[in-house]
Structure 1
Amino acid sequence: MPQFWTNRDYQLDVTKIKFSFVIHFENSIHMLESRIHFTISFIEPQAHYVEVEMDIFQFSETTLDLKMPVWTPGSYLVREYARHVESLDVSAYEQPVPVTKTAKNTWRIHPDRGHAKVRYRVYGFETSVRTNMINADHAFLSPAATFLYIENHLEHPVTVEIRLPSEWKYVSTGLAKVDQQTYFAESFDILFDSPIEIGNQDIWYFTAAETDHEFAMVGGGTYNKAQLTEDIRKIVEAETAIWGENPNSKYVFITHNYQSGSGGLEHLNSTVLGASRNAYQIESAYKNFLSLVAHEYFHLWNVKRLRPKALGPFDYNQENYTEGLWIMEGFTAYYDNLIIRRCGFFSVKEYLNMLANEFNLVYNRPGHQLQSAAQSSFDTWIKQYRPDENSMNTSISYYNKGAMLAAALDIYIISETVGIKRLDDVLRQAYNIFFKQMNRGFEEVEFQQVAQSATGVDLSHIFDAAHSLEELDYNAYFNKVGYELIDLHSVSQELSLGIKIGVHEGRIVLKNVERGSAAWDAGLNVDDELIAINGIRLDTAGKELDFLLEHSKADDIVDVLIARDGLIRTIHTPLRRSTKQQWIIQEKADASQEQKDLGNIWLSV
């Protein structure tokens, strides 16, 4: 892995960025006469276009393959960014240079005396943290969706010049600044990991954990700068305390505020967040935003530096497979709310409700009987980001299941070491060994060995569970710290067809059919229109269906009148007890004082 990932410095000597770069890789120095310089500008931002020029200088090869990444790190889906590239042409010394497209994301060129100027446009009009959005108000550029790279030259330094439209004032990015409009990346790995926000965003600065932070708010909102700064500073300090150091000198928060928004994507020294602009004054929504901040900030260690081998250096041309996302995303999903608890934003009850929700999200998906946390990690490329009407029946999220396993690990380590060690110690030790000392990714078995060495506890049963469909007895862990996991619906008499419905153009339509439910066995299908049950027409408010379920008995047969592809038919369906689970975590009534003391360590502020 490139040595630059250990470098805290981000101020640059401009004299280095002229005709050569001195770059340190693997403890050796190489003088590179070649240069790559991008210029981006905006002629038609209102039409959602960015103009890109790529200047290539002093390359010895007579043939170069220019490639557009098919995915972006942190978002494990092949997104085919090349589909938004258009009008690509190449010249050298003001003369045309032939271009041949050899693959979906590859353009082959022949530089003239080592030089070529590549011009192309990129269309960007998708609202997310991982795709380009360009309009008259601002431009958000996901570098993997914007910049071509030269095959076999990912390690090459890059400069990027940003020409602002007259009505835009600011650039927010984690890239190192060379001058007023030029930025520098030590490699394409750094460039692709540095999103760029351009426009008139609301910017302010603060320092936490000896690191400078920039906050860039886009789209307005009801946020309170002083309060947000104070609260995020607590999060930064709490997380830095876990890892022992903050590896960045600068960190940038880019937040896009929408009418209704959420989500985030981590980067090496920045993050992009989505939020609802008018929700900052709603207590629960504000705490959820802080949890999102905690999640993405935690990733600057866990994923961006401490990582499985498959997650860097990257292959941007295809999927990068790992079974370890349950550790990277799952552990982070466990810590985000735990950090909010440690900072005092969540009460114990609020935190336990958030943790219990992980169990509800997993156990209310029949897919948990078919997919392990490790399988979910490996299949993220075809499942996690491509959900469909049957996903709940076939898969789980490594976020939720990983958080459950992380809770078991944390509690078990605390109980077995009488509160001397916990999962924090595992992460800090793994970070020091794999990132700081070895500067490489890990195999899962290596991570497990470090976890056991750091704590002196055999954790194999929990790591094994990540690869198994057999569930852990989580109460065997929660009880150790004076708590218990309870399903409030375990004795429920509630009846169910096992369906989820929605209303489309005034029609009641099936959206999901749960595996093994009455509807599943009877043959009700997604997209069936529900018209009547037992001769009673259904209303879009669901009152008639609710009344039927409340006043029937288990095993009653009901006649469901449906329309399927325009044809009317009746499906005879039994009613069964609901399999829905509602888990809560609460104090154990007969907990010993020792268990209570360990629980206080687990949930301490």
Structure 2
Amino acid sequence: MAGISICFKFAAKESNMLLRKLTLGMMMILSPFFAAKAQLKINYELSFKEPQAHYAEVQMELSGLSKEFVDVKMPAWAPGSYLIREFAKNVEGFKANAAGKALKAEKINKNTWRVYTSGAKNLKVNYSVYAFEISVRTSFVDDSHAFISPTGIFMYPDGSLASSSTVQVVPFHTWSKVSTGLEPVAGKKFTYTASDYDVLFDSPIEIGNQDIFEFTAAGVKHEVAMYGGGNYDAEKLKVDMAKIVEQGTAIYGENPNKHYTFIVHNFQRGGGGLEHLNSTVLGASRDAYTTEAGYKGFLNLVAHEYYHLWNVKRLRPVALGPFDYENENYTTNLWISEGFTAYYENKLMLRSGLWTNQEFVSTLADAITAVVNTPGAKIQSASEASFDSWIKFYRPNENSANTTVSYYSKGELIGLLMDIEIAQATKGAKSLDDVMKAMYEKVKAEGKGYTDAEFKAMAEKISGISLTDFYSKYIYGTAPIEYQKYLAYAGITIKDENAGKQIPYLGISNRIIEGRNFISSVSRNSAAWTDGLNVNDEVISIDGLPAERNINQMIVQNKKVGDIIQIKVLRDGLEKDFSIKLKSSPNVKLSAELNPKATAAQKAVWKRWTGV
């Protein structure tokens, strides 16, 4: 035995020596490659010569080049918004030079420019970007401010997404402030650094004269940059936004930020948000903060985007990073990334004391109603909705409600059901919180995103039950939501106020254009669908009477199920008459409330599920 042990030791020693030699050899072979990578320096200057005309000016300086040409690329989409947006379409005046001497440059595909170096090690690229689309995911420049969504502004050298860069912002002469999640460079005003392009592209920049206030929560300094004015109370927002931060941090046990930036655009009518690595961009209505609905609506948006700090920015599907910025990044898990976030915004509002228990359950009833009343929920699964987001979610048409379901809305319900299922199975010992935290720690430890199977396995481990049937029905399938069963586990009574009623139903939506009444959608299997009404038909009369502004209200007030009505429409300039037999409305109208006689078991589920 001793002899065998000695042989093994010698064999191991020889093996280690061979491994060192191979490693050294590979390092010698690859060292020029790594040296070239290490020598590449990328610096940007961002300025605004004509902000009133909506232009941003970019100068990219590349140092340490060694090839005869360099390809620079503009991303085609912005992570968090799953649509190819072709940002290169806004680029103008692309030029390159070395030491002031013009270099040959040509565009070789839709988003790539090739610059021939002529032996130069250092060169500069200059171009302008037209920025005049108001949204949280696109850049906008005017004389009052500049909002920079980096994927639509900064090009990158091909093959260099892992490279660091610096950005020097030169504000227009009437602007004085810059707000961003990027790390500042010490001693250099308005100059920032990014360790790689995933960081740069995930760090929006607000430039102008925005109102800025700060608060500290979970040990992290938070900056709030308010553009556009508004009737907000900064001191009140500091307190309530901090509550949301603390509750989100409590779920995961840590806040991964050194600092965090909220960029808020206050418009006459605004909304929407987009999550980023250590910042977010929010749209709001400037005069809505003093109404209860407006104020809580804003905080609800804050809760959604802040929860993304963990869910999707760090706890992410394997397909969502490292990113391919030129092509679609397909995943079947947006029902987790976005849907669960839509669900958790409700829990954060409840746990922060910003919603009452009744507001919480009523919001869930509304969410269930929205999905149940969507015909497309019977056609498209949550998994399919996620995968097809690139071609369907951001490009809806008049038939989308009949063929698709939102992965936000369906995912919110899946989160609700899975959360209660886990609390019920563990008799109030565990909840979806435990799954999310465990998955967060797993992804952080492994340094990669999760697969669908890995998430399911963790949920089964935490709950102690099989979720195969659950996945089959609600994630891969389109089974009806068993909302009454699940909410009863937590002592919630939910009822359909339309149950047993025969409500006449035409099945259209209409819009008024210059006083004319047009059909804007037709619901699947409705009377209008069956008997031939079309989107864009102009409704002239119903049973000889002029069509009222609200056609559906006109039907409900004056007709009953089974009635045959005569509708005259104008289609492509020609009059057409239709006989429509009214059907009964398939839509539910749900309301929910806590059962005051809930059992001890139901109360235990409620407590663990909601955290209150």
Q: What do the CA deviations read for 1:292-349 (whole angstroms, capped 9, x no partner)?
A: 1011000011000010111000000110000000011111111001110111111111
Deviation at 1:210, TM superposition (A): 0.9
Match of 2:92 in 1: 86
Match of 1:9 in 2: none
Match of 1:366 in 2: 375
> Counterparts of 1:454 and 1:64 in 2: how far apart (Å)?
50
Q: Is the 8 A contact 1:495 1:550 kept in 2?
A: no
Please tell me the residue identity of whatever aligns with 1:76.
Y
**Structure 1 stretches lacking a partner, 5+ long:** 1-27
Match of 2:170 in 1: 163
Q: What do the CA deviations read for 1:137-172 (whole angstroms, capped 9, x no partner)?
A: 000010000000111111111111111122101000
Match of 1:461 in 2: 469
Match of 2:563 in 1: 556
Please tell me the residue identity of whatever aligns with 1:205.
E
Of the three residues 429, 450, 453, the one matched with 1:445 is: 453
Aligned: 1:54 with 2:60: yes
Q: What do the CA deviations read for 1:448-476 (whole angstroms, capped 9, x no partner)?
A: 11222234333333333211112342322
SS in 1 for 2:603: helix
Deviation at 1:398, TM superposition (A): 0.7
Match of 1:6 in 2: none
Match of 1:214 in 2: 223
> Counterparts of 1:59 and 1:140 in 2: how far apart (Å)?
31
Q: Is the 8 A contact 1:70 1:80 kept in 2?
A: yes
Deviation at 1:413, TM superposition (A): 1.2
Q: Is the 8 A contact 2:333 2:383 kept in 1?
A: yes
Aligned: 1:195 with 2:204: yes
5 Å-filtered alignment, 1:198-597, equals 198-435=207-444, 437-464=445-472, 465-540=474-549, 542=551, 546-588=553-595, 591-597=598-604
> Counterparts of 1:102 and 1:490 in 2: how far apart (Å)?
62
Aligned: 1:151 with 2:158: yes
Larger CA deviation: 442-451 vs 190-199? 442-451
Aligned: 1:77 with 2:52: no
SS in 1 for 2:287: coil
SS in 1 for 2:347: helix
SS in 2 for 1:147: coil
Larger CA deviation: 576-585 vs 368-377? 576-585
> Counterparts of 2:579 and 2:67 in 1: how far apart (Å)?
71
Please tell me the residue identity of whatever aligns with 1:66.
V
Asked which structure has the greater CA Rg, the reply is 2
Deviation at 1:388, TM superposition (A): 1.3
SS in 1 for 2:246: helix
5 Å-filtered alignment, 1:115-194, equals 115-178=122-185, 179-194=188-203
Deviation at 1:603, TM superposition (A): 3.3
Q: Report the CA distance shift for 1:322/1:504 in structure 2 as closer, same or farther (over 3 A).
A: same
> Counterparts of 1:103 and 1:31 in 2: how far apart (Å)?
24
Match of 2:43 in 1: 37
Q: Report the CA distance shift for 1:487/1:402 in structure 2 as closer, same or farther (over 3 A).
A: same
Please tell me the residue identity of whatever aligns with 1:235.
I
Q: Is the 8 A contact 2:429 2:608 kept in 1?
A: no
> Counterparts of 1:400 and 1:280 in 2: how far apart (Å)?
25
> Counterparts of 1:387 and 1:31 in 2: how far apart (Å)?
43
Larger CA deviation: 582-591 vs 359-368? 582-591
SS in 1 for 2:244: helix
SS in 1 for 2:319: helix
Q: Is the 8 A contact 2:44 2:61 kept in 1?
A: yes
Match of 1:109 in 2: 115
SS in 2 for 1:32: helix
Q: Is the 8 A contact 1:494 1:550 kept in 2?
A: no
Q: Report the CA distance shift for 1:418/1:539 in structure 2 as closer, same or farther (over 3 A).
A: closer
Q: Report the CA distance shift for 1:485/1:63 in structure 2 as closer, same or farther (over 3 A).
A: farther
> Counterparts of 1:191 and 1:207 in 2: how far apart (Å)?
24
**Structure 2 stretches lacking a partner, 5+ long:** 1-33
Q: Is the 8 A contact 2:372 2:481 kept in 1?
A: no
Match of 2:26 in 1: none
> Counterparts of 1:485 and 1:63 in 2: how far apart (Å)?
66
Q: Is the 8 A contact 1:41 1:52 kept in 2?
A: yes
> Counterparts of 1:385 and 1:354 in 2: how far apart (Å)?
24
Q: What do the CA deviations read for 1:168-226 (whole angstroms, capped 9, x no partner)?
A: 01000011100212110111111100000000000111111011111100000111111
Deviation at 1:550, TM superposition (A): 2.5
Runs of 4 or more, structure 1, over 6 Å off, are 28-31
Q: Report the CA distance shift for 1:512/1:547 in structure 2 as closer, same or farther (over 3 A).
A: closer
Deviation at 1:31, TM superposition (A): 7.5
Please tell me the residue identity of whatever aligns with 1:377.
S
SS in 2 for 1:290: helix
Aligned-residue Cα RMSD (Å) equals 1.6
> Counterparts of 2:131 and 2:165 in 1: how far apart (Å)?
22
Deviation at 1:372, TM superposition (A): 0.5
Q: Is the 8 A contact 1:46 1:134 kept in 2?
A: yes
Deviation at 1:374, TM superposition (A): 0.6
Deviation at 1:30, TM superposition (A): 9.6
Please tell me the residue identity of whatever aligns with 1:382.
I
Deviation at 1:582, TM superposition (A): 1.2
> Counterparts of 2:555 and 2:249 in 1: how far apart (Å)?
55
> Counterparts of 1:219 and 1:587 in 2: how far apart (Å)?
41
Q: Report the CA distance shift for 1:315/1:547 in structure 2 as closer, same or farther (over 3 A).
A: closer
SS in 1 for 2:540: strand
Deviation at 1:359, TM superposition (A): 1.1
SS in 1 for 2:232: coil
Match of 1:100 in 2: 106
Please tell me the residue identity of whatever aligns with 1:32.
A
Larger CA deviation: 547-556 vs 305-314? 547-556
Q: Is the 8 A contact 1:425 1:455 kept in 2?
A: no
Q: What do the CA deviations read for 1:430-449 (whole angstroms, capped 9, x no partner)?
A: 111112x1011010101111
Q: Is the 8 A contact 1:409 1:459 kept in 2?
A: no
Q: Is the 8 A contact 1:509 1:527 kept in 2?
A: yes
Q: Report the CA distance shift for 1:335/1:548 in structure 2 as closer, same or farther (over 3 A).
A: closer
Number of equivalenced pairs: 575
5 Å-filtered alignment, 1:17-32, equals 32=38
> Counterparts of 1:382 and 1:317 in 2: how far apart (Å)?
15
SS in 2 for 1:413: helix
> Counterparts of 1:220 and 1:551 in 2: how far apart (Å)?
47
> Counterparts of 1:604 and 1:447 in 2: how far apart (Å)?
22
> Counterparts of 1:405 and 1:569 in 2: how far apart (Å)?
44
TM, length-normalised to structure 1: 0.93
